[in-house]
Amino acid sequence: MNLLIMGLPGAGKGTQAAKIVEKFGLVHISTGDMFRAAIANQTELGLSAKSYMDKGDLVPDEVTNGIVKERLAQEDIKEKGFLLDGYPRTLDQAEVLTAILKELELQLDAVVNIEIASDKLVERLSGRIINRKTGETFHKVFNPPADYSEEDYYQREDDKPEAVKRRLDVNIAQGQPIIEYYRAKGLVHDIEGDQDIDLVFEAIDKVLSNLK
């Protein structure tokens, strides 16, 4: 099964992606996670992505398309299937992805679109915390980890107020045409994102279980 998960920053893509790949055995490809890993390892890719990410802007398409293509071409993808999270984020990326999939002889089965009003997202992003060791995402109020401590959890640089506003603006403007692109292909499944994490997953699970 080959899937995309879409939604504005804070909609719950990463949270649901972790559950989906666990249940269905897919390879999780998160462009945001790939960029953050590159920054942590101070690679050339990390250096070029950092200035965009810190401001809440998108990393240029040539860079992003390149890392996605490289990852999708690896052996495990054909065997296990993939879940792309945080990509595509521009119409250009969506069109490039169609070409990459064609070249690799892969087919997209569904687009999971998590819907939530943008005024709910600021509180989601401002409370987001990540476990330093496992990389797992939690929320200070909505999904607190049992073992919370200041040392073991951190906040993303781009979850601070200045970048959050910019990210929402950028993603609202760029996101709609992408959903329309996939709607025209009949692939989009809308999921209500403003409900408990487990209920969101139940709704996604129902859709995906019917696909198989």
128 noted as active-site residue: yes
Which lies closer to ligand ADP via its Cβ, residue 33 or residue 109? 33
Tell me which stretch binds ligand ADP (CB under 6 A): 53-61, 99-107, 147-155, 175-183. 53-61
167 noted as active-site residue: yes
Q: Per DSSP, what are the bridge partners of residue 140?
A: none
Question: Which of positions 165-194 make contact with ligand ADP (CB under 6 A)?
Answer: 167
Which lies closer to ligand ADP via its Cβ, residue 12 or residue 208? 12
- Cα 100–chain centre separation: 19
Tell me which stretch binds ligand ADP (CB under 6 A): 39-47, 72-80, 99-107, 196-204. 196-204
* Integer angstrom CA distances of residue 81 from 18, 25, 90, 163: 14, 8, 23, 33
At its nearest, how many Å lie between ligand ADP and the CB of residue 131?
11
58 three-class SS: coil
Q: Judging by beta carbons within 10 Å of its beta carbon (0-12, 13-18, 19+), is residue 16 exposed, middle or buried?
A: buried
- Cα 191–chain centre separation: 15
Residue keyed to tokens 């995309």:
4
Tell me which stretch binds ligand ADP (CB under 6 A): 39-47, 87-95, 97-105, 145-153. 87-95
Give the span between the Cα atoms of 121 and 64, in whole angstroms: 24
- The residue count for binding ligand ADP (CB under 6 A) is 35
Tell me which of 19, 23, 128, 185 is the catalytic residue: 128
Site string for ligand ADP, 117-156 (x = CB under 6 A): -------x--xx--------xxx--xx-------------
Q: Per DSSP, what are the bridge partners of residue 192?
A: 115
Residue keyed to tokens 């401002």:
126
Which lies closer to ligand ADP via its Cβ, residue 75 or residue 92? 92
Q: Judging by beta carbons within 10 Å of its beta carbon (0-12, 13-18, 19+), is residue 14 exposed, middle or buried?
A: buried
Return residues touching ligand ADP (CB under 6 A). 7, 9-15, 31-32, 35, 52-53, 56-59, 64, 86-87, 89, 93, 124, 127-128, 137-139, 142-143, 158, 167, 196-197, 200
